Amino acid sequence: MNGPARRWFEEIEVGEAYESPGRTVTEADIVLFAGLSGDYNILHTDAEFMKASIFGERIAHGLLGLAIQSGLFTRAGIPYATLGAGTLRWKFKGPIKIGDTIRVRAKVAAKKATDKPDRGVVTVERQVLNQRDEVVQEGETDLVVERRPAG
């Protein structure tokens, strides 16, 4: 039986690059993420207070942007046979505001074997861009990806 298409560790090449579709971040996304995470920081929830801030309005949680790009990445090509995330190194460069449309641009920076024979680690460099092509977030993620099963 063939399951959904997934790419094994062996099939992924260093230097491969992808760009995802865009996704508009809505007020509902921010409200739902506040509810899920329990993070009701005024940056994300108090429209009046934020009018006087350097941002001029509510901004999305940085980790909401991270979660959205993670989903966009899976739509940027055939998904990897990912077992999980290993490590993340991430910078928040600018705000994501309600109505902004973000997409992820990604490149495979490195591959390495692990001490387990059934998996390897793929390092992906990522930039999250808004509709003005400004980089609002960027970083690297180390993904643990399955090798093709023998036989």
Residues that bind other proteins (CB under 8 A): 33, 36-43, 46, 49, 54, 61-64, 66-67, 70-71, 84-92, 139
Tell which residue, 3, 2, 9, 4, has the closest CA to residue 86.
Answer: 9
Q: What are phi and psi of 48, to 5 degrees?
A: -70, -50
Cβ neighbour number for residue 117 with a 10 Å cutoff: 9
Q: Which two tokens stand for residue 79?
A: 């998904």
Name 83's Cβ contacts closer than 8 Å, sequence gap at least 6: 119, 144, 145, 146
The Cα–Cα gap between 119 and 114 comes to 7
Q: Whose Cβ is closer to other proteins: residue 2's or residue 30's?
A: 30
Work out how close the CB of 90 gets to other proteins at its nearest, in angstroms, rounded to a whole number: 5
Work out how close the CB of 99 gets to other proteins at its nearest, in angstroms, rounded to a whole number: 20
Work out how close the CB of 71 gets to other proteins at its nearest, in angstroms, rounded to a whole number: 7
Q: Whose Cβ is closer to other proteins: residue 17's or residue 85's?
A: 85
What would the DSSP string read from start to end of 24-44? E--HHHHHHHHHHH----HHH
Work out how close the CB of 114 gets to other proteins at its nearest, in angstroms, rounded to a whole number: 14
Q: Whose Cβ is closer to other proteins: residue 78's or residue 88's?
A: 88
Q: Whose Cβ is closer to other proteins: residue 54's or residue 150's?
A: 54
Work out how close the CB of 116 gets to other proteins at its nearest, in angstroms, rounded to a whole number: 14
Q: Whose Cβ is closer to other proteins: residue 5's or residue 54's?
A: 54
